[in-house]
Amino acid sequence: MAATETRIHYQEELERLEASALGGLDLVSDALERTLEAVEHQDVELAQLVVADDDRIDGRYLEVHQSLIALLARQSPVATDLRLISALLHVLKSIERMGDQCVNVCKMIPLSGNEPPADQEMVTLILSMGRQTRTLISQAKRAFEERSVEMAQDLVRQDDVVDNLNRDCFRLALEIGDDADRREWAMTMLLGARAIERIGDNAVDIGEQVAFIVTGLFREFEDASHPTS
Amino acid sequence: MAADESRAGTGREAREAAAERAAIAVRPEEFQHGSSSKREKVFELNGVEVLYSGVSAVKGIALDIHRNDVTALIGPSGCGKSTLLRCLNRMNDLIPGAEVRGELLYHGEDLYGPEVDPVQARKLIGMVFQKPNPFPKSIYDNVAFGPRILGRKEDLDATVERALRGAALWDEVKDRLDSNAFGLSGGQQQRLCIARCIAVEPDTILMDEPCSALDPISTGKIEDLMIELKEEFSIVIVTHNMQQAARVSDRTAFLMVELDADEDNRWGRLVEFDDTEKIFTNPSDQRTEDYVSGKVG
């Protein structure tokens, strides 16, 4: 036993809670994977499964949130530990939102009807967005685990890819033509694309929390109200 | 006669051991009845009142202390938490004029029953004090003291090692067991006192401000130790340090001072007793909230 190592149980609990919170990102990644599969195959049953399974993500949120509050009350964390717990509370909220966005996409699948997709190119774009967003999720998790500000900041670049794909979706929707059914389908798909785009933003938010833990300073990587470009 | 004389040593030991067994009206094995679950009660207090020379120090105390829990007693100075703690192993018997009323059960038996030998009870319910109080003896002899008194001389080395390991002190002292205990740091002395306490295999350890004379690192070690020890023992701790109660305990009792109408008399009373997490995140009583958040004291 190291002579100076104390509060071992507290440290173990904090590590456990971090792993549990970040494990929520794996749940979200799985939910998004199934969401994309449901979109690709217009699989209403699979979509319903994703909606039902969101309870697991919400449950993780509630469980870890409660434990973090207890840890704050009982252990009086300071310095890096305090920043970590603050960051984890933010990350949990992001995870919960990401899960909800998957639910939003899945709920629109029955609305898009049983007809074949009006525009296969738009479906392909959305699937690309989703795959790219899953990369963002796993990168956000790794950046957090490794406390890598560099990797966290790179999430902005990765997210730009998702944003650009989202704009492409919008252009396709504009050009979809005058047919009312096709336009309704395109509008519905646009809502789905928008939900996936928001998941990417949440991944960037997690990256910002990584920078906060490491540097002690909070700043948005990108300020939507004051864009640099 | 001569032959009898030569056997007297062992014979006396055997008689003493038999007397000791008889004297413990409340033996641990008898206490193991009922559920062995986490919720097994070690102490049950109902309407407990402690008086010094006829004046109440605490009254109306009702709480259960469960096995393998760390139970913390917190509250402002003079609220009677140390008085209450000392009731639990009859240490108040040693104070002239002290009187305990109400029901105080230890494993379902009346701890203050006429058949209970307080000395035996204190062996089962050990105590660690605010100021480390090792004997002016070697480290080894400090830990071996209790077992020797009890005639448990077999495997004494193993008993001492087990107790020192249990108190997370073995690695620091194993090469100097014959050194005087006063040569240890304050934190080490306190862990030695814990080792001395557990060497006689109690089932409960009472701790009265065990860290208030220690630096933060030594305090951290004792707190870690408490979490280890509760696997085997039940622990009741009195602490002035609310955060310590928050860190180490499973259940917390908050006591405060109550005054009578003309403010002539004051006594301690139990305000709230609940899971520590509840006490420190969402207490039921506003007075608890005010105390744990440092608004009153």
Q: Which of B242, B250, B274, B277 to mutate to test the interface with A (most CBs of A within 10 A)?
A: B277
Q: Which residue of A has its CA nearest to B165?
A: A1
Sorted by where each begins, the domain ranges of chain A are: 8-215
Q: Is A2 on the interface with B (CB under 8 A)?
A: no
Please say whether the beta carbons of B278 and B287 come within 8 A: no
Residue A3: list chain B partners with CB under 8 A: 172
- Letter string b/e over residues A176-207, b meaning 16 or more CB atoms within 10 A of that residue's CB: beeeeebeebbebbbebbebbbbbbbbbbbbb
Q: Which residue of A has its CA nearest to B222?
A: A6
DSSP structural state of residue B53: T
Residue B224: list chain A partners with CB under 8 A: 6-9
Q: Is A76 on the interface with B (CB under 8 A)?
A: yes
Give the angle subtended at the CA of A48 by the CAs of A46 and A54, to the nearest 5°.
Answer: 105
Residues A70, B281: C-beta atoms closer than 8 Å: yes
Per-residue pLDDT of chain A (229 residues; tens, 9 = 90+): 444 577 888 999 999 999 999 999 999 999 999 999 999 999 999 999 999 999 999 999 999 999 999 999 999 999 999 999 999 999 999 999 999 999 999 999 887 766 777 789 999 999 999 999 999 999 999 999 999 999 999 999 999 999 999 999 999 999 988 888 889 899 999 999 999 999 999 999 999 999 999 999 988 888 777 776 5
Of A9, A70, A76, the CB nearest to B224: A9
What pLDDT was estimated at residue A1?
Answer: 41
Closest chain B C-alpha to A101 CA, distance in angstroms: 31
CATH number at A8-215: 1.20.58.220
Q: Which residue of B has its CA nearest to A72?
A: B281
Question: Dmax over Cα atoms in chain A, in whole Å?
Answer: 76
Residue A70: list chain B partners with CB under 8 A: 277, 280-281
What pLDDT was estimated at residue B213?
Answer: 84
Q: Beta partners for B66?
A: B41
Q: Is B197 on the interface with A (CB under 8 A)?
A: no
Please say whether the beta carbons of B249 and B230 come within 8 A: no
**How far apart are the C-alpha atoms of A187 and A169, rounded to whole Å?**
10
Residues B277, A73: C-beta atoms closer than 8 Å: yes
**How far apart are the C-alpha atoms of B125 and B86, rounded to whole Å?**
10
Radius of gyration (C-alpha) of chain A in whole angstroms? 20
pLDDT tens sequence across B1-26: 444 444 444 455 555 555 554 444 44
Q: Record the pTM.
A: 0.81
Query: How many CB atoms lie under 10 A from the CB of residue B4?
Result: 8
Residues B276, A75: C-beta atoms closer than 8 Å: no
Of A7, A74, A76, the CB nearest to B276: A74
Sorted by where each begins, the domain ranges of chain B are: 50-292
Residue count (chain B) = 297
Beta-carbon pairs below 8 A across chains A and B: 35
Question: Which residues in chain B show pLDDT less than 70?
Answer: 1-38, 297
DSSP structural state of residue A111: G
- Letter string b/e over residues B129-146, b meaning 16 or more CB atoms within 10 A of that residue's CB: ebebebeeebbbbbbbbb
Any idea which fold B50-292 has?
Rossmann fold (3.40.50)
DSSP structural state of residue B108: T
Query: How many CB atoms lie under 10 A from the CB of residue B110?
Result: 14
pLDDT tens sequence across A111-140: 776 677 778 999 999 999 999 999 999 999
Q: Which residue of A has its CA nearest to B170?
A: A1
At A215 the three-state DSSP class reads: helix
Residues B246, A73: C-beta atoms closer than 8 Å: yes
Residues B168, A1: C-beta atoms closer than 8 Å: yes
Closest chain B C-alpha to A90 CA, distance in angstroms: 20
